Amino acid sequence: MPEPLPEYRVKARNTSVAGENKIHDDVVARRYGFRGGLVPGVTLYAYLTQPLLATLGAPWLARGTASVRFVRPVLDGEEVTVTGAITARDASGVRAILTAATAASGECAVVTATLPAGLPTPVNVANFGVSSLPAERPPVSRALLERPGPLGTVETMYDEARAVTFLDGVADPLPLYRGRGGWAHPAFFVDQANRALDRNVRLGLWIHVSSRIRHLGGAHVGERLETRGRVRSLYEKKGREYVELDLLVVAGPASRPVAHLLHTAIYRLPPL
């Protein structure tokens, strides 16, 4: 029988309303048929992790997995209700499904998560080369994304100030993320996946649609993070151009792997 997870309710906040991507701007988003500016997927994913941490705790941050997809937009100020259940417990580990919903749109995002019984399969760091970010970002194009080679490496110092800013933005009060040595929030890895895209190319409107994440030990407040990777695939659907990135987040001077992500976004919307 499924084991219900704690319900979590939160007032959504558009944490990118003043950002470069105008899909988060009310006026621009409405021109493209949305009800208003989109709350970022990173923020919605952070909401979805709350019941997981309440039940599975730090072991999920160390070796858990998640596959998140965004079904319908959430707008600033809407109440988001996160519900879910553990669907299986067996020798291989724990599996759970969670959804985020609003009164206006119903189901908006879905996460399938696992807590494996064993250690995560290692990743070969040598397959994820380090490269410099462009001095001036070129405009995005399929031809540009098809070029072989690594993306420019995104570097971030996840210090206490950065952690507090991020946690306040996603309204996460859990103490295990706070203070030096606290756990890095799992949604911050997804945020860095976005930076791996928008710091390498100059985008117009773009939309994060899904991510698959494997935690490989987790990171902590006070560590320097690098996000390395490459373009894994490109495709088109209903006039929208998609890109999938294959990314590895590493921490510290030893480049310790902490998270592996397959990150998908619409990098070009059809013209109005």
Q: Give me the phi and psi of 26, to 5 degrees please.
A: -60, -50
What CATH number should be reported for the domain holding residue 120?
3.10.129.10
Q: What is the spatial distance between Cα 105 and Cα 266, in angstroms, rounded to a whole number?
A: 21
- C-alpha closest to that of 66 among 40, 46, 80: 46
Count Cα atoms within 13 angstroms, Cβ side, for 210.
Answer: 13
For residue 74, the enclosing domain spans 3-268
Exposure string over 124-153, b if 16+ CB within 10 A, otherwise e: eeeebeeeeeeeeeeebeeeebeeeebbbb
Number of neighbouring beta carbons within 10 Å of residue 116: 18
- Given a contact cutoff of 8 angstroms between Cβ atoms, the answer to whether 185 and 143 are in contact is no
Where do runs of H (alpha helix) occur along the chain? 26-31, 41-56, 58-63, 142-145, 160-169, 186-198
The total of structural domains in the chain comes to 1
β-sheet bridge partners, residue 89: 94
Please list the pLDDT of the chain residue by residue as tens digits (272 residues).
889 999 999 999 999 998 999 999 999 999 999 999 999 999 999 999 999 998 999 999 999 999 999 999 999 999 999 999 999 999 999 999 999 999 999 999 999 999 999 999 999 999 999 999 999 999 999 999 999 999 999 999 999 999 999 999 999 989 999 998 899 999 999 999 999 999 999 999 999 999 999 999 999 999 999 999 999 999 999 999 999 999 999 999 999 999 999 999 999 999 87
CA quadruple 95, 100, 101, 105: dihedral, nearest 10: -110
Helix, strand, coil percentages in the chain from 3-state DSSP, rounded to 5: 25, 40, 40
Residue position matching structure tokens 């030990």: 217
Q: What is the spatial distance between Cα 82 and Cα 47, in angstroms, rounded to a whole number?
A: 7
Residue position matching structure tokens 């995002």: 109
- Given a contact cutoff of 8 angstroms between Cβ atoms, the answer to whether 32 and 116 are in contact is no
Kindly state the tokens that stand for 166: 């991020």
Q: pTM of this prediction?
A: 0.97
